[in-house]
Amino acid sequence: MTETNQALIQITDMTKVFYTDEIETHALSGVHLSVNKGEYVAMSGPSGCGKSTLLSIIGLLDTPTAGRYFLNSKPVENLDFAERARIRNQEIGFIFQSFNLIGDLTVYENVELPLTYRQRMPSVEHKKRVMEALERVGMAHRLKHYPSQLSGGQQQRVAVARALAGHPSILLADEPTGNLDSRNGEAVMELLANLHKDGATICMVTHDPRFAKHAQREIHLFDGKVVAEEELKKLLQETSA
């Protein structure tokens, strides 16, 4: 973490509590996190430790229970739905574990989707961006295909292209290789590494330590808190004992 770089994401003392049937689940408790422009951060930790919860708050899909969140130096923890949707659309690119391409839409239409939710963008610009993104992931030859006609690895590459098409400030990926075999997973990881090399900021949740190595920095979560690697090992040993 270099202080000269401006923090793209600045999260302080964030907690997230879920209330279900009078049971409180403290998914996050007092998380501090800052991610700089151009960084590639991997988040790992045991199942249920709050990785997805943190990522969804970063991606403005969810709101924190308490704490502060500055995105591009702007406070975003208390925005309304419409404003958050606008920021998601312009600043954030999502890559999901299960690809989440829309079955009724072609490859081209899927990639174009985030652009269609943007006001006043000429369709020439759409086309340019979509083609750029698809070429970047090597899927420009499958424009007219439907997701069901693609392999898992191809679908995930299209999903990456969709995340890129909006030119977001940050790419968020929640176990992007979870539904892929190792060869296809490797290919997607390589793609992300290349994107990072070209300047993209990436936050990725992963279980797989091999893939975590691709990142510049690895953040460990345990029971809703960010912990150092050594501490994590100690804690894991304690729980298994």
Ligand X SMILES: Nc1ncnc2c1ncn2[C@@H]1O[C@H](COP(=O)(O)OP(=O)(O)OP(=O)(O)O)[C@@H](O)[C@H]1O
> Which stretches of the chain bind ligand X, using CB under 6 A?
18, 20, 25, 27, 47-53
222 in Cβ contact with 49 (< 8 Å): yes
Stretch that binds other proteins, among 19-27, 40-48, 114-122, 225-233 (CB under 8 A): 114-122
| Site residues (CB under 8 A) for other proteins, limited to 14-73 | 52, 55-56, 59, 61-62
Judged by CB, which is closer to ligand X: 48, or 138?
Answer: 48
Closest by Cα among 203, 41, 200, 55 to 133: 200
Instruction: In angstroms, give the least distance from the CB of 118 to other proteins.
Output: 7
Interaction between residue 103 and other proteins (CB under 8 A): yes
DSSP conformational letter for 175:
S
Residue from 81, 183, 198, 237 touching other proteins (CB under 8 A): that is: 81
Tell me which of 153, 166, 185, 224 binds other proteins, using CB under 8 A. 166
Which is closer to other proteins, CB of 61 or CB of 193? 61
Q: Which of 163, 174, 205, 178 is nearest to 96 (CA)?
A: 174
Distance CA 6, CA 236 (A): 34
* Partner from other proteins, ligand X, Mg ion, none contacting 47, C-beta within 5 to 8 A by type: ligand X
d(CA 85, CA 48): 26
**Partner touching 25 among ligand X, other proteins, Mg ion, none, CB below 5 to 8 Å by kind:** ligand X
The least distance separating Mg ion from the CB of residue 226, rounded to whole angstroms, comes to: 16
Q: Phi, psi (5° rounding) for residue 9?
A: -120, 130
d(Cα 67, Cα 36) in Å, to the nearest integer?
19
Residue number, 43 or 55, with CB nearest to other proteins:
55
DSSP assignments along 179-215, one per residue: TS-HHHHHHHHHHHHHHHHTT-EEEEE-S-HHHHTTS
Q: Sort 131 into a burial class: Cβ within 10 Å, 0-12 / 13-18 / 19+.
A: middle
Is residue 52 near Mg ion by the rule CB under 5 A? Answer: yes
Write out the residues near other proteins by the rule CB under 8 A. 52, 55-56, 59, 61-62, 81-82, 85-86, 88-90, 94, 96-98, 100, 102-104, 113-114, 117-118, 146, 148, 162, 166, 174, 178
